[in-house]
Amino acid sequence: MSTTITVAKGDGIGPEITEAVLRILDAADCGLRYDFIDVGERAYLAGHSSGIPPEAWTVLRRNAVFLKGPITTPQGSGYKSLNVTIRKTLGLYANIRPCRSYHPFVRTPHPDMDVVVVRENEEDLYAGIEHRQTTDVFQCLKVLSLQGTEKIVRYAFEYSRANARRKVTCLVKDNIMKLTDGMFSDMFRRIGREYPDIGQEVQIIDIGTARVATQPSRYDVIVTLNLYGDILSDVTAELAGSVGLAGSANIGDRISMFEAIHGSAPDIAGRGIANPSAMLNAASMMLLHVDQPSKAEVIQNAWLRTLEDGVHTADIHQEGASRQCVGTHDFAQAVIARLGRKPSSLRSADLRSGTNLAFEYRRPPTKRELCGVDVFVCDDCTTPEALARRIEGALDGVLRLKLITNRGVRVWPDGFPETSCTDHWRCRLVSTDADVGTTAYPPIGRTSIIEALSLLERAGIEAIKTENLYLFDGQRGFSLGQGE
Ligand code: NAD
């Protein structure tokens, strides 16, 4: 039975490597039919700011699987990344990036490495919510949800179990971002209890990345947030030999997308020298996903055998280990010529499925109480003391000013003159019943916030943004100011 998949050849080296990969898929008789869509540079230039015309969405939503060549994202603030738009719009929540060593056929400082990065794919700083709020201050919101986090953590454990992996490492920065990254690591520990057969550890992303770069064989499956995973998976791909080798799967509940982890490589586009391996590895993951493990295995084995035979593209070519330096087309022909053969010393492809995961989220019952508001004020010619006096005078007993921070650090009360301040002040207003000097937050009414804002406005204090403060089952849903 044939499966129809959506294919976009992409930009730069995209068409060269996609055509090479489709030739291999056809030669292996995978029984695939292709619906081609035109997304990327041409769509951007035709005025579609996300690089995708409306008719392409119809095709994408019709087929369950999308094989995508790399896309060039034009520079400039008028353009949104097509990759991020597709991942978020189609709910492709998990990004799986395996990187293993092909030593001694591909040069790598780490012959034992075999790491899979499971990256959250829809949230974090990639929510793309950015604002310039004052003359001085620019902000990008980091958005994490309970359901998004539960889903990616569960996926990492399920993937590990299905693929006989022994350990999952969670990489976060929860010593600094206690609410967001802290929720991610708490979730990892909670869900992890359901998988006692799998080793588990939490590490801080900075030392974790340093160790991945120097001792990757200590790691097996890594689960992490969107931005950290994006950076880390390029590190692991380069460590394994080249970004030209690593493929990735973007998994959603209904639709999934498979692509190389590298970009459109404009520096070598059109020269016929790009390595199609990353896209071929993505296509093998796709074959597994559409339940064709035997075809995936045949292609993987032929590809490994090609590497072993020293038929290499320029990015992995090395004197001594390589026999032939070939271009994209001849590399694909070499793989086709080896279909049905197995590697003699590289570990043979042992492909399992396990990337499909049905998931149902139930929101936990939670008591939410309003207990204050952070009012962000723009003022470029004030001192913390003068601003505090103006706010206290304006509030007229409606709410109480608890503290003022600038770039997150307390500057009132008891600030230091050494702290350098911008024109962006966070003023925390709480109930007049709150005890000064404690971190208890009695509840307030919603109308008191509106009243306070209008009093501030009347006093000429410009609020540029507010953030309500809530207790969830009595626990603070906001961080304390540094020094609070
Ligand atoms: P890149 O990954 O395109 O290239 C980085 C380096 O790796 C270049 O020297 C390139 O020649 C080399 N390289 C990449 N793929 C190769 C291959 N298959 N064979 C041999 N060498 C290869 O990164 P970049 O130059 O930073 O980005 C170029 C464009 O790609 C940008 O517009 C960027 O936004 C886009 N991009 C797209 C994706 C995607 O579509 N998923 C991912 C990353 C970057």
CATH of the domain at 375: 3.30.70.1570
Regarding the beta carbon of 264 and ligand 1, being less than 6 Å apart is answered yes
* Boundary (domain end) residue, out of 213, 235, 257: 235
Regarding the beta carbon of 256 and ligand 1, being less than 6 Å apart is answered no
Closest residue to atom 36 of ligand 1, CA basis? 263
Q: What is the pLDDT of residue 480?
A: 87
- SS3 of residue 126 by DSSP: helix
Whether the Cβ atoms of residue 126 and residue 275 lie closer than 8 Å to each other: no
Give me ligand 1 centre to Cα 70, in Å.
Answer: 8
Residues 372 and 311 in one domain: no
Instruction: Note whether residue 103 is domain-resident.
Output: no
Q: What is the pLDDT of residue 197?
A: 96
Regarding the beta carbon of 315 and ligand 1, being less than 6 Å apart is answered yes
Structure token pair of residue 49:
């700011």
Residues 127 and 174 in one domain: yes
Instruction: Note whether residue 484 is domain-resident.
Output: no
Regarding the beta carbon of 360 and ligand 1, being less than 6 Å apart is answered no
Locus of tokens 């201050």: 137
Residue of 52, 85, 92, 243 with the most ligand 1 atoms within 8 Å of its CB, for mutation: 243
- In whole angstroms, what is the distance from residue 129 CA to residue 226 CA? 14
Residues 344 and 375 in one domain: no
Q: What is the pTM of this model?
A: 0.91
Instruction: Note whether residue 100 is domain-resident.
Output: no
Whether the Cβ atoms of residue 279 and residue 69 lie closer than 8 Å to each other: yes
Closest residue to atom 5 of ligand 1, CA basis? 265
Regarding the beta carbon of 216 and ligand 1, being less than 6 Å apart is answered no
Regarding the beta carbon of 72 and ligand 1, being less than 6 Å apart is answered yes
* Boundary (domain end) residue, out of 219, 235, 251: 235
Instruction: Note whether residue 76 is domain-resident.
Output: yes
Give me ligand 1 centre to Cα 381, in Å.
Answer: 46
* Boundary (domain end) residue, out of 323, 354, 385: 354
Residues 203 and 254 in one domain: no
Closest residue to atom 17 of ligand 1, CA basis? 244
Q: What is the pLDDT of residue 438?
A: 75
Residue of 52, 264, 312, 313 with the most ligand 1 atoms within 8 Å of its CB, for mutation: 264
Q: What is the pLDDT of residue 211?
A: 96
Instruction: Give the DSSP letter of residue 365.
Output: P
Q: What is the pLDDT of residue 439?
A: 77
Instruction: Note whether residue 481 is domain-resident.
Output: no
Residues 113 and 228 in one domain: yes
- SS3 of residue 459 by DSSP: coil
Residues 77 and 188 in one domain: no
Regarding the beta carbon of 52 and ligand 1, being less than 6 Å apart is answered no
Residues 468 and 381 in one domain: yes
Residues 342 and 378 in one domain: no
Instruction: Note whether residue 101 is domain-resident.
Output: no
Residues 296 and 339 in one domain: yes
Structure token pair of residue 469:
């403060």
Instruction: Note whether residue 14 is domain-resident.
Output: yes
Low-confidence ranges of the chain (pLDDT < 50): none
Closest residue to atom 37 of ligand 1, CA basis? 263
Residues 271 and 330 in one domain: yes
State the closest ligand 1 atom to the C-alpha of 279, by its place in the atom list counted from 1: 18
Give me ligand 1 centre to Cα 202, in Å.
Answer: 31
- SS3 of residue 407 by DSSP: coil
Regarding the beta carbon of 73 and ligand 1, being less than 6 Å apart is answered yes
Instruction: Note whether residue 359 is domain-resident.
Output: no
Closest residue to atom 26 of ligand 1, CA basis? 263
CATH number at residue 276: 3.40.718.10
Beta bridge partners of 369: 471
Residues 373 and 459 in one domain: yes
Whether the Cβ atoms of residue 223 and residue 169 lie closer than 8 Å to each other: yes
Quote the number of domains for the chain.
3
Regarding the beta carbon of 11 and ligand 1, being less than 6 Å apart is answered no
Chain mean position to CA 245: 20
Residues 113 and 219 in one domain: yes
- SS3 of residue 196 by DSSP: coil
Closest residue to atom 1 of ligand 1, CA basis? 263
Structure token pair of residue 406:
């600038």
What domain range includes position 386? 368-476
Give me ligand 1 centre to Cα 75, in Å.
Answer: 14
